[in-house]
Structure 1
Amino acid sequence: MLTRRTLTFAILVGGFTTPVLAHHGWRWTSGDNIRLTGIIQSASLGNPHGVLQVDADGEVWQVEVGQPWRNERAGLTDDDFAEGREIVIEGEPSADVEERRLKAERIWFDGNLHELYPGRS
Structure 2
Amino acid sequence: MRQRFGKFFAVIIMALATAAMTTPLLAHHGWSWAEHGNSEVTGVVTKAELGNPHGIVTLDVKGDVWQVEVGQPWRNERAGLTDAMMSPGVTLTAKGHRSAKPDQKLLKAERIVIDGKTFDLYPDRD
In the superposition, the TM-score normalised over structure 1's length comes to 0.92
Distance 2:95 2:14 in 1: 40
Matched, 1:98 2:122: no
CA shift for structure 1 position 7: 2.2
Which deviations, in whole Å up to 9, do the C-alpha atoms of 1:12-69 show, x marking residues without a partner? 1110111111122222112221011111111111111111111112211011111111
Q: Select 1:7's aligned residue among 12, 31, 34.
A: 12
* 1:1-121 aligned within 5 A: 3-121=8-126
Q: Which runs of 5+ in 1 are unaligned?
A: none
- Where does structure 1 differ by over 3 angstroms across 4 or more consecutive aligned residues? none
Whole-angstrom distance in 1 between the partners of 2:88 and 2:72? 19
Please give the secondary structure, in 2, of the residue aligned with 1:108. Answer: strand
Q: Unaligned regions of 5+ residues in structure 2, if any?
A: none
Percent identity (aligned): 48
TM-score by length of 2: 0.89
The one-letter amino acid paired with 1:117 is Y
Q: 1:82: Cα distance to partner? A: 1.5
Name the structure where helix makes up a greater proportion of residues. 2
Name the stretch that deviates more: 24-33 or 53-62.
24-33
Number of residue equivalences = 120
Q: Match of 2:41, as an amino acid? A: L
Rg larger for: 2
Kindly state the Cα deviation for residue 102 of structure 1 after the two structures are TM-superposed.
0.8
Whole-Å separation in 2 of the counterparts to 1:34 and 1:71: 20
